[in-house]
Chains A and B, each alone.
Chain A
Amino acid sequence: MKPLDLVRLIFGNLSRRKARVALTAIGVVIGTSAVVILVSLAIGLQRNANEQLYGIGDLTQIQVSPAYEMTEGMVVSVSVGGGVKDPGQPQPARLLTNSALDELRAIPGVESVIPREYLMTGVLIKYQKLEGGVGVIGVESDDLASLGLEAIEGGTELGRGVVVIGAMVPNNFYDPRIRPGQEPPPPPQLLGQQIQFIVSKYDEQGNEIRKNLSLRVTGVLKETRGESDWTVYFPLDQIKSLNEWSQGRRVNYNKEGYSQVVVKVQDVNQVLDISDQITQMGFQAFTPQSFVQGINNFYVILQFIFGGVGAIALLVAAIGIANTMAMSILERTREIGLMKAVGATNRDVLAIFLGEAAGIGFIGGLGGVIIGWLAGQGINVIALVYLANQAGQQGGPPPSVAVYTPIWLPLFALIFSTIIGMISGLYPALRAATMIPVLALKYE
């Protein structure tokens, strides 16, 4: 039998019993649309979560710091970036010295290794009559672009006497002389402006010693929803000398190592692998990618659970198909006998009845995919309004989707429902195919 003839015959047979086929297919429609909506919802949630996660930083970066381990009876420890040796403190297993950095650079797939240091002392920033507090980080790089940061105003280049500030730094300024009930001042426009940095330390008598720096803002970074938003970036040398001033001693990175380096990887898919290698080298590695992967794994499990709930509805529908096919075969026993009498092989009969069962699955699946997709779009319209309100109240950008249906999902659902139909029809079709022709012809 030719495939096209088979398909025509199958759909011709199904159209003979429209009401029954429609009723049976409704079960499949419900099951398939449930699968499409629920899995789309899980995928939508995952995309939302991922959108929020981009705030935790560039996924191609690994933050490496010395690993600390406590050994029993340990009496000596080195505090990173200088300081006194203190008994009972954790000791780094390996220091991030320049030679260690060279080892990190030698790992295949590593694009760059950039040391970073925090300013280890208090800092107050002043602009005109406004004051504010920020985090200060020194980076051993001429350009913050190497850390994946982008400027929204000005540039990302670092140099002597200039700083680049995070997107939220202007929001951190306040007027110390403001009276209660008075309107707070708007965030200042800082690009190209001189800001005062007042760094302070205390001597052994507890007296505060201050140091004033006046630096020009040459760039404002794009919002990342991460640490960089609240940070002022300096060249590393300047932070090193400020730290030496505050601690009253010289810092030798070759002996003490850096407190943190950023390893930038060429390909996001290599991040976890390289992170493991760095851990094996004796350092502590943190990558947002491992966090993202954990989150993604959770959502994949969620998709399976949601898909499973829909699949239960499909299972019920499958029983309906099996029932319809069993009834149909009883009613058409003489027709089966006739088919065999005119030369249909067992395989022909099997193909016809399996095809009819698959056809019900396909028709129901098609309806389910269309309804599921439409329902998803409807949910999107309603939910996005709600979520945008929520985001407006809590800060942060609104989510772009609530329910997301990737192109593979309807295709998968359609194929799945067709296969479910076929499996449901297997037993009745086998019974039809193996009927003894003469008994089928005589069936009353």
Chain B
Amino acid sequence: MKHYQMGGSIVRALDGLDLDIDAHTFTVVMGPSGSGKSTLLYLLGGLDRATAGEISIDGARLDEMDENALALFRRRTVGFVFQSFNLIPSMSALENVAFPMQFAGITSVQRNHQARNLLGQVGLSDRTDHRPTELSGGQQQRVAIARALVNNPSLILADEPTGNLDTSSGAAVMQLLSDLHNSGRTVLVVTHDPRMTRFATHKIYLLDGRSVSETEYQSAALESAQVS
């Protein structure tokens, strides 16, 4: 359960949600704006804390961890991909990818080697010295995916990774995420774009902070389309 205080009222972003996500799956969480899907992703990634309830990842209880343990969990287990890329504008693509490894105490030679490899994997070997402003949206998101992989995480969490991209760039990014899943990682993507579900092995539909069936979700979507 996750509550937010908004002005005088309390918003229940997630309420009574009980989910099991298997390892090595590609799960797409669908839901309209305000359904709580991003909140779910941040809770699973240890970037936010639940108001009540338990979150357990690979046997580790996130709700019982202190700040330091959560930081180490994020460093070792999770790779994040954001809608707005969150690249540091003053750093080159290579520096952006290598950046998180500093916190893990990896030497600069190893960092550069690893970052170059990962940029090669996402097809940006020729863009290593470019700054984010010199890259297209799709290229920036691929840099962000490379960055999410630097500490070799078992869980990739992506928040609307195609939200700021055109269709073809979006498809390329989804293909990359699918490749990561195929290489044995657990991938969870939050989106409201139904086209993304074609890569999914599992789908979760959220409405007003609750998990609903696909049929319920479709009828609600139909209703809101008719109202508008």
Tell me the A residues contacting B by CB distance below 8 Å.
1-2, 5, 9, 16, 334-335, 337-348, 436-438, 441
Contact = CB atoms under 8 A, between A and B. Distances in A.
B108 A343 contact: no
B90 A441 contact: no
A339 B88 CA distance: 10
Contacts, number: 67
B105 A343 contact: no
Given A342-B74, A347-B68, 7 more contacts: A1-B102, A335-B88, A341-B45, A343-B103, A346-B67, A438-B47, A441-B86
A116 B86 CA distance: 89
Nearest to A440: B47
Interface in B127-151: 147, 150-151
Contacts of A436: 48
B104 interface: yes
A261 to B, nearest CB: 72
B102 A345 contact: no
B192 interface: no
A344 B71 contact: yes
A311 to B, nearest CB: 35
B147 A342 contact: yes
B68 A343 contact: no
B48 A342 contact: no
B47 A343 contact: no
Contacts of A347: 68
9 contacts: A16-B90, A341-B86, A342-B80, A344-B75, A345-B68, A346-B68, A436-B48, A437-B42, A438-B47
Nearest to B104: A343
Nearest to A348: B103
Contacts of A342: 74-75, 80, 99-100, 103, 147, 150-151
Given A1-B105, A5-B108, A334-B86, A343 B42 contact: no
Contacts of B48: 436-438
Contacts of A2: 102, 105, 107
Nearest to A437: B47
A342 B77 CA distance: 10
Nearest to B91: A12
A337 B88 CA distance: 12
B82 interface: yes
Interface string B40-60: 001001011000000000000
A1 B48 CA distance: 23
Given A5-B108, A335-B88, A441-B86, A341 B47 contact: yes
Contacts of B103: 1, 339, 342-345, 348
Given A2-B105, A438-B47, A345 B72 contact: yes
Contacts of A341: 45, 47, 74, 80, 86
Interface string B65-98: 0011001101110001010001010100000000
A339 B102 CA distance: 10
B91 to A, nearest CB: 8
A342 B71 CA distance: 8
A16 B91 CA distance: 10
Contacts of B42: 437-438
A346 B47 contact: no
Interface in B24-42: 42
A289 B11 CA distance: 79
B105 A345 contact: no
Contacts of A340: 47, 71, 74
B86 A338 contact: yes
Of listed B75, B76, B102, residue having the most chain A CB within 10 A: B102
A68 B99 CA distance: 82
Given A2-B105, A338-B86, A436-B48, A343 B76 contact: yes
Contact of A343 (B86, B90, B107, B151): B151
A337 B102 CA distance: 16
A345 to B, nearest CB: 4
Contacts of A335: 88
Contacts of B147: 342
A5 B147 CA distance: 18
A345 B88 contact: no
A1 B111 CA distance: 13
A342 B96 CA distance: 11
Of listed A343, A346, A347, A348, residue having the most chain B CB within 10 A: A343
Contact of B75 (A16, A343, A438): A343
Of listed A1, A334, A342, A441, residue having the most chain B CB within 10 A: A342
A114 B47 CA distance: 85
Interface string B140-178: 000000010011000000000000000000000000000
Contacts of B108: 5
A441 B99 CA distance: 17
Contacts of A343: 71-72, 74-76, 100, 103-104, 151
Given A5-B102, A438-B42, A438-B48, A338 B88 contact: yes
B161 to A, nearest CB: 14
Nearest to B85: A338
A339 B74 CA distance: 10
Nearest to B105: A2
A346 B71 contact: yes
A345 B99 contact: no
A21 to B, nearest CB: 13
A345 B47 CA distance: 12
Contacts of B71: 340, 343-346, 348
A441 B82 contact: yes
